[in-house]
Amino acid sequence: MHALELTKPDGRRMTLYARAPLDAGLQAPSPFPDPLTGGAHLRWHVLRGEWVTYAAHRQGRTFLPPPEYNPLAPTTDPANPTEVPAGAWDIAVFENRFPSLGGVIAPPPELIVPTAPAEGRCEVVVFTQDREASLGSLPLSHIALLFEVLGDRTRRLAAEGSIHYVLPFENRGAEVGVTLHHPHGQLYAYPVVPPVPARMQQVAAEHFAAHGRGVLEQHIEAERREGTRMLYEGPHAVAFVPVCARYPYEVWVAPIRPVEGFASLDDAVRADLARALKTVLLKFDALWQRPLPYLMAWYQAPTDGQPHPESHLHAQIWPPYRTRDRLKYLAGTELAAGFFAMDALPEEKARELQQVEVHVA
């Protein structure tokens, strides 16, 4: 993998990645001529005991731009720059112009709750130059390259020291609020371990202390033994509808053996993980013969400088549909109590997805 580090005219950092060597003359464009302004800050939520970030400058950000303007497509007219240059690159990563974390770090206001500067980083990950592609339609080698890129990003962000957790995710589809349909994901680098990964780390650490093995590693063994919800079983990676799914079409994708994060994957595991993910995403889009929206999050070990033998890299993918034409809304019990209610059995939904045949080349 080759990487070229650039700086945009407005000061944001960008890295281009490719399998072939990159042209060192490539330049990073920006649709925004003026330098970065703004600056987010954190406020402590006194009842929930967690941080919330406030970036008031985000209000003016791009929303459902006209279809002719795609800021994630390569720049063709230098008078109308996009976020990425024309040229030979495979994957581009750049800092979000309207970050919830990072960017211009300003002193936080003094308030009646604790506040802090919103340190961290919000990056956009452009999966491909092809606006008509989707993550699942990309070649296996390209998906594996993306995993390598995510490992590189995690390693670089962790090296900044103030970053305690790196979460790569993809929001896909208008149903989950996505306004730019060019295939892309995001990467949030947090100055703390956020509440959900923190809880999962706690559960995993307690399990590891009690059993000497990882909770997800043992769960994958049990899912494979039972077999009824499996969608993909390769030599190094699996995909399945978990027995405890919180969304009807929820799927987990993971290496079979525990790996702390993308930066620790070897070539064979990375390639099989790409095949597991591609299998799932192709099944999703073939299920109803239309692109299935989803939220996909990749959980890794915290980047807090500690060893995390309890951590096990995996994706949780949450499509928002209950059936072909019914959305699952998160309401009272899910959002206010954190107690999820499902009206479908994971076994039934797994069967639906198992019956979708796809060709993974």
239 binds a copy of itself (CB under 8 A): no
62 binds a copy of itself (CB under 8 A): no
User: Least CB distance from residue 302 to a copy of itself, whole Å?
Assistant: 12
C-alpha pair distances (Å), 26 with each of 16, 41, 100, 250, 262 = 9, 34, 28, 40, 27
Question: What does the block give as tokens for 236?
Answer: 């190094």
Outline where 38-194 has alpha helix (H).
140-159
Given a contact cutoff of 8 angstroms between Cβ atoms, the answer to whether 293 and 176 are in contact is: yes
215 binds a copy of itself (CB under 8 A): yes
222 binds a copy of itself (CB under 8 A): yes
319 to 348, contacts with a copy of itself by CB under 8 A?
322-323, 326-327, 329-333, 335-346, 348
Cα 259 → chain centroid: 17
Q: Are strands 326-327 and 321-323 parallel, antiparallel or unpaired?
A: antiparallel
260 to 289, contacts with a copy of itself by CB under 8 A?
none
68, burial (CB in 10 Å: exposed 0-12, middle 13-18, buried 19+): exposed
Q: Which of 20, 88, 106, 244 binds a copy of itself (CB under 8 A)?
A: 244
User: Which residue, 85 or 102, is less far from a copy of itself as judged by CB?
Assistant: 102
User: Least CB distance from residue 237 to a copy of itself, whole Å?
Assistant: 17
184 to 213, contacts with a copy of itself by CB under 8 A?
186, 188, 190, 194-197, 199-200, 202-204
User: Least CB distance from residue 88 to a copy of itself, whole Å?
Assistant: 30
Q: Which of 14, 271, 297, 313 binds a copy of itself (CB under 8 A)?
A: 297
d(CA 329, CA 278): 27
79 to 98, contacts with a copy of itself by CB under 8 A?
98
Given a contact cutoff of 8 angstroms between Cβ atoms, the answer to whether 319 and 249 are in contact is: yes
93 to 122, contacts with a copy of itself by CB under 8 A?
98, 100, 111-113
User: Which residue, 87 or 233, is less far from a copy of itself as judged by CB?
Assistant: 233
169 binds a copy of itself (CB under 8 A): yes
Q: What residue has token string 């990950």?
A: 125
User: Least CB distance from residue 337 to a copy of itself, whole Å?
Assistant: 4
User: Least CB distance from residue 146 to a copy of itself, whole Å?
Assistant: 16
d(CA 89, CA 20): 8
Torsion 229-238-2-97 (CA) sign:
positive
Positions marked active-site: 184
User: Which residue, 225 or 359, is less far from a copy of itself as judged by CB?
Assistant: 225
Q: What is the DSSP letter of 84?
A: B
32 to 61, contacts with a copy of itself by CB under 8 A?
43-59, 61
257 binds a copy of itself (CB under 8 A): no
User: Which residue, 16 or 36, is less far from a copy of itself as judged by CB?
Assistant: 36
Give the HSE-up count for residue 307: Cα atoms under 13 Å, Cβ half-sphere: 3
- Which has the closest alpha carbon to 195: 317, 299, 58, 91? 299
